Amino acid sequence: MSDAPPPNKRQKRTEKSDSELPKKKFYRQRAHANPFSDHSLTYPKSPKSMDWGTLFPAFVRKEQTASDTSTEEQENRRAQDNGAGSDVDGFAGMTKHVEVADIGCGYGGLLFALSAKTPETLILGLEIRTSVTEFVQEKIKALRSQNQGSGLYQNISCIRANTMKFLPNFFPARSLSKIFLCFPDPHFKARKPKARIVSGTLCSEYAYVMRPGGVVYTITDVQDLHEWMVGHFAEHPGFERVSEEETEADECVAIMKGETEEGKKVERNGGKKFVALFRRAEDPPWP
Amino acid sequence: MQHPYQCICVCHPVGGDGSGMLLAASGPKISSVNLQNGSIVSSWPDEESSPAHETRETSTPEGPPGKKRKIAQSTETKPNVIQLTTSHDHKHVIAATGEDKCIRVFAIDPTGQLTQLSERYNESLLYRGLELTMPRCMPKRPCAIAVTPDNQTVILGDKHGDVYSLPLLPEDKDPSQLVPERAEAAPRKAFVPAATNLTVHTGRNLKALEAQQKQKDLHAKTKEPPKFESTLLLGHVSMLTDLLLATVVPDEPNAKPRNYILTSDRDEHIRVSRGLPQTHVIEGYCLGHTEFVSKLCIVNDRLLVSGGGNDWLGVWDWVRGELEMKLDLKDLLVAVRQDGLIPRTSDASLRDASDTVAVSGLWACHMAHPHESQLLIALEGVPALFHVPISQLVAQYQCRPDLEYTALPGNLLDIAIHTPVSATSAEHLSSLNEVSLIVSVDNMHALGSTSQPRSEPTSQRLLSLPLCKDPEVKRWGIDERSTALLEAANSAEGPERGGKGVAALCYGVETLRKRGGGKEEEEEG
Ligand SMILES: C[S@@+](CC[C@H](N)C(=O)[O-])C[C@H]1O[C@@H](n2cnc3c(N)ncnc32)[C@H](O)[C@@H]1O
């Protein structure tokens, strides 16, 4: 099947105005996308060629925008930043760099909930399914448009990406302080361990894009997947498990449990939620 | 018709006379050729183990227990050699074979005799002078191999993107005592589907779960873990294309040398990881290719050259992950075409070399003053050897690099750099000016084509290109006299092969290109 949604869907989607929220029913898509196939993905050659300004226009450095487009809100924001730009490689021209990634963000429940919690932190959702990504993008657009005065929802964005292949194309080394892996697809076929979003070798890539001290958040309702993820992160020398007390006290955990679409679904069905957090360790000294 | 030599390398066996041996793989067969007199010293699998011979052996009821049957395969079913390399101490030869996904280690004696080493304790079998035993078979097809500087470990990358380490020489252990260490195996317990309705939300998931449960028992019976020691070091979720080991002495005073593993994939990545034992640390990436990366070559210390589906080579400061320069290949290909090296044709089945570039080989050929070290380049399906002085591959080099080519009588397949060593020590001669290249060319396909057969097939598959004595002449030229020394290898009967199998074995690079319009399976969820 082609990448583009059927024409009737397209039409219904475009009929809405900018500030009107998208309807989920027009953006549904088959649950599983093959992480190995080429798709028709677009991704930057490297983080340096990533156009962050389009995703987070309110965080573009002043010199970069024409004076007439800069709103009062943006100026306020920049004043807070003391004019300092992001010094993270790959975020030249931005006042901030993306610090939080929601991998496999689905319909974006977590993004929308986190946005208001940390309005000064840039959060990016990454989702492999086109229509689902479009839904989140439309919803962000509508919410930004509805909240022009307050400047809410400027700090979240969503892109289509296969994170299992292209994470280092988007994020420079040590740039993220949080990665969320919420209710990843369980991939029941045990024969395809590489299809899972967590594996020993992928942990190395998560460690690469995270700064030491950063935290990976995982939640699932599938106990065996939970154990699988815990096993791989705990065994990986780049991570250590966060203690239970600290996990319970982390407010992102509550959001992850209560605000993700999957979290709500599990709640309705009376299922269990397994949570595990892992802190990115310092790299060991060279031997 | 003889099969081309798809992989070649030069080895200087310890205790040899210093003239070196050429190891050349033709289909499933590896031969060692004495470079002093041109004689073929040994071949593997042994000539004598012809199918008829083997059948007779194994049908003898009172003969040795069916051990030999394992090697009694006809040439047609014998696995083709896809990688061939030597250990740094030149004591061992390592070969990877495709169809059976195996890695084989041979000992090479001073005369060039190859001996495949025992995999299993006490099960080695002396057979016509060759110790034949079990190869180590990997879960996926190996696609790149390297040996660590201490010659203890083989690092192997497979088609599914995983990189493993294996001891070069398996320990004398009972294989049943070995617990394979593979991070992809479930860490604590096997990943068994959680069979509660609460955790399965969709009909699709439920179906997958049912299928999985049915499959489970069957699966448990069919797949056993590898019976040898191997450790998963790192992995790409992509097809791995090349792998290199590198060592750098950091600038800081008193810093110890640092080991790295460089890996490339079909999704345009070049990854720089720490070497053993810290391979879980990714140090960086060299990003900039917009097509697959197929070959990596470290030309000096911190300078890496990469090539693939782009019509340029990347020259990188790989420790910093910075692209220093792009070396354009397109103009040169146009020149090759204009020079008539690749016949013009309207036949669309001939891959048009001016349209696509697929880098199939990169080699650093180091030479001493007054000669200049060169980067050698092979492009898939192109009958020419490209070369450029390495000193010009720096960002500061103001002029256009002197990228030139030497025409060849067949598409270039592989190159072995032959630097004679002194007979007494394994040290290279103080003068590197005796370097010569042994080049393998395709004798079956038309010049410039990876599919069209030649109108007149030839047996000439190996050529010798000594360096011109005059340092001003930076070209390589085919030398009749030294090529004549390769006569025995050129006329050796190879396995009979159809053109299709040969093309698949010799020309796999262009197939890495993404065909565009990759489809996403999209359905109602
Ligand atoms: C079960 S959903 C969970 C969605 C969301 N996190 C939540 O909790 O509601 C898993 C999501 O991961 C996405 N996904 C799977 N593999 C992915 C990959 N390699 N890269 C990006 N997203 C992926 C799927 O398309 C799907 O939307």
Contact A50, A88 (CB under 8 A): no
Q: Could you read off the pLDDT of A136-159 as tens digits, one per residue?
A: 999 999 999 999 999 999 999 999
Quick one: which of B506, B422, B409, B396 has its CA closest to B465? B409
The pLDDT of residue B186 is 38
pTM of the full predicted structure? 0.86
Is B235 a residue whose pLDDT tops 80? yes
| Helix, strand counts (H, E) of chain A | 11, 7
Which positions ≥6 away from B399 have C-beta within 8 Å?
B392
Q: Could you read off the pLDDT of B410-440 as tens digits, one per residue?
A: 999 999 998 876 544 444 444 445 788 999 9
> How many Å apart are CA B57 and CA B64, to the nearest integer?
9
Quick one: which of A217, A235, A214 has its CA closest to A282? A214
Highest mean pLDDT among A187-191, B182-186, B447-451: B447-451
Degrees, nearest 5: CA angle A15-A20-A21: 105
Q: How do beta strands B130-131 and B136-137 pair?
A: unpaired
Q: Could you read off the pLDDT of A186-224 as tens digits, one per residue?
A: 876 666 677 899 999 999 999 999 999 999 999 999 999
Contact B188, A226 (CB under 8 A): no
Where in chain B are the domains? 1-47+78-172
A267 interaction partners in chain B (CB closer than 8 Å): none
Tell me if A37 and B524 make a contact (CB, 8 A cut-off): no
A191 interaction partners in chain B (CB closer than 8 Å): 215, 219
A125 lines ligand 1 (CB under 6 A): no
Identify the residue whose tokens are 């029941």: A188
Chain centroid to CA A93: how far?
Answer: 21
> How many Å apart are CA B198 and CA A222, to the nearest integer?
9
Identify the residue whose tokens are 């495949």: B116
The beta-carbon neighbor of B209 closest among A33, A130, A188 is A188
Quick one: which of A184, A170, A173 has its CA closest to A276? A184
Q: Could you read off the pLDDT of B278-287 as tens digits, one per residue?
A: 999 999 999 9
Quick one: which of B199, B208, B83, B217 has its CA closest to B141? B83
Average pLDDT, chain B: 78
> How many Å apart are CA A110 and CA B171, to the nearest integer?
51
In terms of Cβ atoms closer than 10 Å to its own Cβ (0-12, 13-18, 19+), residue A139 is: buried
> How many Å apart are CA B30 and CA B508, to the nearest integer?
20
Tell me if B193 and A37 make a contact (CB, 8 A cut-off): no
Which positions ≥6 away from B292 have C-beta within 8 Å?
B241, B265, B266, B267, B268, B308, B309, B512, B513, B514
The pLDDT of residue B210 is 53
Contact A64, A53 (CB under 8 A): yes
The pLDDT of residue A10 is 58
Ligand 1 centroid, distance to B159 Cα (angstroms): 25
Quick one: which of A40, A187, A220, A59 has its CA closest to A124? A59
Regarding predicted confidence, which is higher, A20 or A167? A167
The pLDDT of residue A12 is 65
Quick one: which of B10, B14, B2 has its CA closest to B33? B10
Is B290 a residue whose pLDDT tops 50? yes
Q: Six-digit token pair at B173?
A: 């252990």
Contact B478, B256 (CB under 8 A): no
Tell me if A45 and B268 make a contact (CB, 8 A cut-off): yes
A47 lines ligand 1 (CB under 6 A): no
The pLDDT of residue B61 is 39
> How many Å apart are CA B449 and CA B341, to the nearest integer?
12
The pLDDT of residue B220 is 39
Ligand 1 centroid, distance to B502 Cα (angstroms): 42
Region B1-47+78-172: CATH code: 2.130.10.10
A128 lines ligand 1 (CB under 6 A): yes
Region A37-48: what's the mean pLDDT? 86
Per-residue confidence band for B260, with pLDDT thresholds at 50, 70 and 90: very high
A45 interaction partners in chain B (CB closer than 8 Å): 268, 287-290
Per-residue confidence band for B481, with pLDDT thresholds at 50, 70 and 90: confident
The pLDDT of residue B64 is 41
> How many Å apart are CA B133 and CA B116, to the nearest integer?
7
Q: 3-class DSSP state for residue B226?
A: coil
A266 lines ligand 1 (CB under 6 A): no
Region B168-173: what's the mean pLDDT? 68
The pLDDT of residue B16 is 80
The pLDDT of residue B57 is 34
Of the listed ranges A168-182, B263-277, B370-384, the least confidently predicted one is: B370-384
Which positions ≥6 away from B100 have C-beta within 8 Å?
B79, B135, B137
The pLDDT of residue B78 is 84
Q: 3-class DSSP state for residue A213?
A: strand
For atom 18 of ligand 1, which residue has the closest CA?
Answer: A162
Which positions of A are catalytic?
A: 185
Q: 3-class DSSP state for residue A88?
A: coil
The pLDDT of residue B430 is 42
Region B99-116: what's the mean pLDDT? 86
In degrees and rounded to multiples of 5, residue B305 shows phi and psi of: -110, 135
What is the gyration radius of the CA atoms in chain A, in angstroms?
Answer: 19
Which positions ≥6 away from B208 have C-beta within 8 Å?
A188, A189
**Which of B237, B320, B515, B524 should one mutate to test binding to chain A, selecting the residue with the greatest count of A CBs within 10 A?**
B237
Is B466 a residue whose pLDDT tops 70? yes
Please report the sign of the dihedral spanned by the C-alpha atoms of residue A220, residue A224, residue A227, residue A231.
Answer: negative
Q: 3-class DSSP state for residue A59?
A: helix
Q: How far A278 CA lies from chain B's nearest CA (Å)?
A: 16
Per-residue confidence band for B225, with pLDDT thresholds at 50, 70 and 90: low
Per-residue HEC secondary structure of B94-137 comes to: EEEECCCCEEEEEEECCCCCEEECCCCCCCCCEECCEECCCCEE
Quick one: which of A60, A205, A89, A141 has its CA closest to B267? A205
| DSSP calls for B318-371 | TTTTEEEEEEE-HHHHHHHHHTTSS-----TTS--TTT---EEEEEEE---TTS
The pLDDT of residue A256 is 97
The pLDDT of residue A9 is 58
In terms of Cβ atoms closer than 10 Å to its own Cβ (0-12, 13-18, 19+), residue B524 is: exposed
Highest mean pLDDT among A204-218, B63-77, B351-365: A204-218
The pLDDT of residue B516 is 63
Q: How many CB atoms lie within 10 A of CB A180?
A: 24
Is A234 a residue whose pLDDT tops 70? yes
> How many Å apart are CA A125 and CA A136, to the nearest integer?
9
Tell me if B256 and A287 make a contact (CB, 8 A cut-off): yes
